[in-house]
Structure 1
Amino acid sequence: MALIMMPCLIGCPHTLNLSRYNSVIFHNPSRFQGAAMAAALASESIAVASDVPPKMKAWVYDDYGPVSVLRADDGVLVPEVEDQQVLVKVVAAALNPVDFKRRQGMFKSADSALPTVPGYDVAGIVIKVGSQVKNFKEGDEVYGDINENGLTHPKRFGSLAEYTAVEEKLLALKPQNLDFVQAAGLPLAIETAYEGLERAGFSAGKSILVLGGAGGVGSIVIQVAKHVFGASRVAATSSTGKLELLKSLGVDLAIDYTKENFEDLAEKFDVVYDSVGQGDKALKAVKEGGRVVGIWGALSPPGFVFLLTSNGGMLTKLNPFIEEGKIKPLVDPKGPFPFSQVIEAFTYLESGRATGKVVIYPIP
């Protein structure tokens, strides 16, 4: 039996009121209604390099600490674009636990110098390309995780800004069927889901149990396991109110953890993907020779640790599944939060009440 530990970089599941959902949630209907949302997103202006001002609006922190260290700054220098980078006009950005853990100083020994503009997930428009960029041009709509190694020297200039500079290899063209809000919520979650399954040796015909199937990561793991890897059977846990959501995602066995213990089931699984920090219990649910993937806390040995690596090629590979509607983003219904409410968005994320991804849109 092998144990795989992944750092918890993305959102974990919490209580969901299904009365607000029809299946997979994208947006809060009170903020953006159908045609209005489409019109707003379609109207995003495509700037050109000559339009880029020397300074931009961004959220910044100068010291590590609680959410109160964040401040809005309209005088941040627009980052220079290196030869293999593109400059992206940020349209939407998503928050992840790694953002506030980094802000709290948990990774300070390997962090870039302060002050920092936070933000990993981005969706936006290319407005300038470096001299060695081959796959993108001005006007391309892209998405991705801007940090190749999220815990090792992440960028000073993140996605919570008007502009961000990103290596070409970390980005992919935005799926045509998604708007910027939906796209911003996918990169870190889908990369974590895919890489975890790949490292676990998951393949067609195998079974999987997803702990926390209604969360930002778990909901994507279900879809990737079923539609990309060809899982023969997908089981997932949630509270009572989220069982129908699990079924809408394609789960074959929805387990109500408030009424039964998944580890006591007679059925065992080839892979258990733990997104909620129940590693010891997960060991009891895996088959002999199976594997446990964890993204929260430590797992008992034997095992190995790896750090998620951002990869635009992975996103490009998964784009057809997204465009065919086989993989759908799960965006928290309270959002998107406007750029002026980044502190409120972080406070909400850190409260543990968020479901799916917390997205910031529009960004000036």
Structure 2
Amino acid sequence: MAAAAGSTIPSHIQGWMYSEYGKASDVLKLDPNVLIPELKEDQVLIKVIAAALNPVDSKRMLGFFKESDNIPAVPGYDVAGVVVKVGSQVKNLKEGDEVYGDINEKGLDFPKKFGSLAEYTAAEEKVLALKPKNLSFVEAASLPLAIETAYEGLERAGLSAGQSILVLGGAGGVGTQVIQLAKHVFGASKIAATSSTGKLDLLKSLGADLPIDYTKVKYEELPEKFDVVYDTVAEADRALKAVKEGGQVMTIDPRGPKVTFFILTSTGTILEKLRPYLESGKVKPLIDPKGTFPFSQAVEAFSYLDTNRATGKVVIYPIP
């Protein structure tokens, strides 16, 4: 499990690395002798207990952000673990704290060379929050990037109590959080969401009033239009036909025309704001039924993530 705070911290650790761009199955290799990251003054060193994978990890590995990227690199944005060392300017975290977060403040601008798929990683205090006590490390690791993306998108869309929303890709990592936050945090009066046939019951259980089977129904042809459409599946053209006049289409896909595209700025502040909803169980993490892979099977985990069939999140655990 975790190294006890204050215990000996090794100089070299195990970590997954890639030195060229391509699919994980071709380029991702386990290095048993990675130099542990140096700690900056505003950072803490974390003994990683669980790390979640995100589509952005695969895109980065494929070379989508070459202009701002730096390889060789250890992938991984989401982390949950225990603080084992703190920088001199760290104010609120201490050794022994159980923390979680998305360690890349600006996910596409100069992502960290040293991510979360290693035995230890370093992260700025401002991107971390204390782990909610009722969540396991696996559950906590699954949340940060997805829940922060969901929250920031809903906030930017100006979703307010009594409005309606359509969530495209409701069973995915971000979509499952958008549904829950729209209902419990933003007070949406009606939530519609799309998924394949087998996942409609899941959408209902998360709080969707109108689960839509995208294999049978063209949501843009429904007579009902929505105040906000939140697109997690890169269908901005269709999304525009489903929004009310004056409504907002939010997308996490940069190719969408005439819609609001945004890139998450990771901050522990959002995690702290959502803590009451997580601790009360109103908003829940969602791990794919197949979705916990041991550290040694990170390549298999990426291959599964890349099928786009995961429900909720894929998490690496345990990490030696």
Q: TM-score range by the shorter chain?
A: over 0.9
- Where structure 1 has 5 or more consecutive residues not aligned to the other structure, the ranges are 1-43
Query: Are 2:274 and 1:291 aligned?
Result: no
The secondary structure found in structure 1 opposite 2:39 is: coil
Asked whether the equivalents of residues 252 and 262 of structure 2 are also in contact (C-alpha less than 8 Å), the reply is no
Q: Name the CA distance, whole Å, in 2 between partners of 1:155 and 1:122.
A: 13
- Choose which of 282, 293, 307 in structure 2 pairs with 1:326: 282
The match for 2:52 is 94
**Cα deviation, residue 354, structure 1:** 2.0
Aligned 1:177-326 pairs, distance under 5 A: 177-296=134-253, 298-301=255-258, 303-326=259-282
The match for 1:23 is none
Letter of the 2:60 counterpart: R
The match for 1:72 is 30
**Cα deviation, residue 65, structure 1:** 1.9
**Cα deviation, residue 151, structure 1:** 0.5
The match for 2:67 is 109
Letter of the 1:244 counterpart: D
- Choose which of 157, 164, 167 in structure 1 pairs with 2:121: 164
**Cα deviation, residue 217, structure 1:** 1.0
Query: Are 2:103 and 1:134 aligned?
Result: no
Q: 1:90 to 1:65 in 2, by over 3 A?
A: same
Q: Name the CA distance, whole Å, in 2 between partners of 1:263 and 1:104.
A: 32
Q: 1:285 to 1:304 in 2, by over 3 A?
A: closer
The match for 1:355 is 311
Asked whether the equivalents of residues 252 and 261 of structure 2 are also in contact (C-alpha less than 8 Å), the reply is no
Q: Name the CA distance, whole Å, in 2 between partners of 1:293 and 1:306.
A: 8
Q: Name the CA distance, whole Å, in 2 between partners of 1:353 and 1:257.
A: 14
The match for 1:38 is none
Query: Are 2:42 and 1:84 aligned?
Result: yes
**Cα deviation, residue 249, structure 1:** 0.7
Q: Name the CA distance, whole Å, in 2 between partners of 1:62 and 1:248.
A: 42
Asked whether the equivalents of residues 106 and 266 of structure 2 are also in contact (C-alpha less than 8 Å), the reply is yes
Query: Are 2:83 and 1:146 aligned?
Result: no
**Cα deviation, residue 198, structure 1:** 0.7
State the identity %: 68
Letter of the 1:251 counterpart: A
Letter of the 1:84 counterpart: D
Larger deviation, residues 253-262 vs 51-60 = 253-262
* Cα offsets for 1:58-85 (capped at 9, x unmatched): 0011112222211111111111111110
Asked whether the equivalents of residues 248 and 260 of structure 2 are also in contact (C-alpha less than 8 Å), the reply is no
Q: Name the CA distance, whole Å, in 1 between partners of 2:243 and 2:261.
A: 19
Q: Name the CA distance, whole Å, in 2 between partners of 1:320 and 1:265.
A: 36
Asked whether the equivalents of residues 114 and 121 of structure 2 are also in contact (C-alpha less than 8 Å), the reply is yes
The secondary structure found in structure 1 opposite 2:75 is: coil
Q: Name the CA distance, whole Å, in 2 between partners of 1:343 and 1:296.
A: 25
**Cα deviation, residue 133, structure 1:** 0.7
**Cα deviation, residue 193, structure 1:** 0.3
The match for 1:342 is 298
Asked whether the equivalents of residues 2 and 81 of structure 2 are also in contact (C-alpha less than 8 Å), the reply is no
Letter of the 2:32 counterpart: D
Q: Name the CA distance, whole Å, in 2 between partners of 1:274 and 1:125.
A: 34
The secondary structure found in structure 2 opposite 1:208 is: strand
- Where structure 2 has 5 or more consecutive residues not aligned to the other structure, the ranges are none
**Cα deviation, residue 46, structure 1:** 4.2
The secondary structure found in structure 2 opposite 1:217 is: helix
Q: Name the CA distance, whole Å, in 2 between partners of 1:106 and 1:298.
A: 13
Asked whether the equivalents of residues 48 and 319 of structure 2 are also in contact (C-alpha less than 8 Å), the reply is yes
Q: 1:304 to 1:268 in 2, by over 3 A?
A: closer
The secondary structure found in structure 2 opposite 1:157 is: coil
Asked whether the equivalents of residues 176 and 206 of structure 2 are also in contact (C-alpha less than 8 Å), the reply is yes
Asked whether the equivalents of residues 46 and 139 of structure 1 are also in contact (C-alpha less than 8 Å), the reply is no
Runs of 4+ deviating beyond 6 Å: none
TM-score calculated relative to the size of structure 1: 0.85
Q: Name the CA distance, whole Å, in 2 between partners of 1:107 and 1:192.
A: 19
Q: Name the CA distance, whole Å, in 2 between partners of 1:45 and 1:294.
A: 37
Q: Name the CA distance, whole Å, in 2 between partners of 1:115 and 1:257.
A: 40
**Cα deviation, residue 187, structure 1:** 0.4
